[in-house]
């Protein structure tokens, strides 16, 4: 089943690549034959999508501390049960060697094993920490308030995404002033990629 899904994703990815290259050849030919038409078409489809509205939900503060402390026993039990269950699965049910064999492509087996071992170790440490936190929530939640005050910082995405939301027209202007050269490069690049993909199709 896993191999079938991998093959399906592989073929889908290749199909999208080849389709994109065919569109690239057509677009490049359009740049050579009718550059003004291509520029008008580009202007029609050239829409700006700002991340501001998409990240608006992320930038709203949702405080759950009062609810957690009000129901600290239930929260502590749920955290502990989840941690114990995950630790059991990782150490007694999860077959690391079988998973490594399924993911192994015959070339990077050491890398696959190292990534799996690191992931299992990280999950074990995280679950052990969560188990301690759950026990504190269950017995004496006030001990966590100091850590909460120290670590509870609000990170706003607005400044981080400001670079993405800045419109840059330099490349558009450059291509518009050298559109036939850009068309030749697009056609050559698309043909090269299609030729390179022939061995994988």
Residue 59 near residue 157 (C-beta atoms within 8 A): yes
* Residue 34 tokens, joined: 């009718």
Model confidence at 157: pLDDT above 90: no
Model confidence at 17: pLDDT above 80: yes
Please, which pLDDT band fits residue 201 given cuts at 50, 70 and 90?
A: low
Please, which pLDDT band fits residue 7 given cuts at 50, 70 and 90?
A: confident
- pLDDT tens by residue, 45-62: 777 766 666 666 666 766
Please state which of the ranges 91-95, 150-154, 157-161, 171-175 shows the lowest mean pLDDT: 157-161
Q: In whole angstroms, how far apart are CA 191 and each of 24, 35, 54, 188, 196?
A: 9, 20, 37, 5, 9
Span 174-185, average pLDDT: 88
Q: Which residue has 């909460």 as its token pair?
A: 148
Residue 21, classified by CB atoms within 10 Å of its CB into exposed (0-12), middle (13-18) or buried (19+), is buried
Query: Which DSSP letter does residue 166 get?
Result: S
Span 112-138, average pLDDT: 89
- pLDDT tens by residue, 58-105: 667 667 777 877 888 898 999 999 999 999 998 888 887 777 777 766
Model confidence at 150: pLDDT above 80: no
Please state which of the ranges 25-34, 124-133, 163-172 shows the lowest mean pLDDT: 163-172
Between 102 and 139, whose confidence is greater?
139
């Amino acid at each position: 089943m896993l191999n079938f899904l991998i093959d399906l994703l592989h073929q889908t990815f290749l199909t999208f690549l080849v389709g994109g290259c065919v569109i690239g050849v057509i677009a490049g030919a359009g740049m050579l034959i009718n550059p003004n038409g291509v520029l008008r078409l580009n202007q029609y489809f050239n829409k700006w999508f700002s991340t501001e509205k998409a990240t608006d939900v992320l930038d709203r503060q949702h405080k759950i501390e009062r609810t957690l402390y009000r129901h600290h026993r239930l929260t502590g039990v749920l955290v502990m049960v989840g941690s114990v269950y995950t630790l059991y699965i990782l150490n007694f049910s999860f077959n690391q060697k079988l998973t490594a064999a399924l993911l192994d492509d015959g070339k990077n087996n050491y890398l696959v094993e190292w990534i799996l071992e690191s992931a299992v170790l990280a999950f074990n440490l995280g679950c052990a920490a969560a188990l301690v936190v759950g026990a504190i929530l269950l017995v004496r939640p006030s001990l966590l308030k100091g850590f909460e005050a120290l670590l509870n910082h609000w990170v706003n995405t607005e400044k981080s995404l400001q670079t993405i939301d800045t419109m840059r027209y330099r490349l558009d202007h450059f291509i518009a002033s050298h559109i036939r050269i850009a068309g030749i490069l697009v056609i050559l690049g698309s043909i090269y990629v299609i030729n390179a993909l022939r061995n994988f199709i």
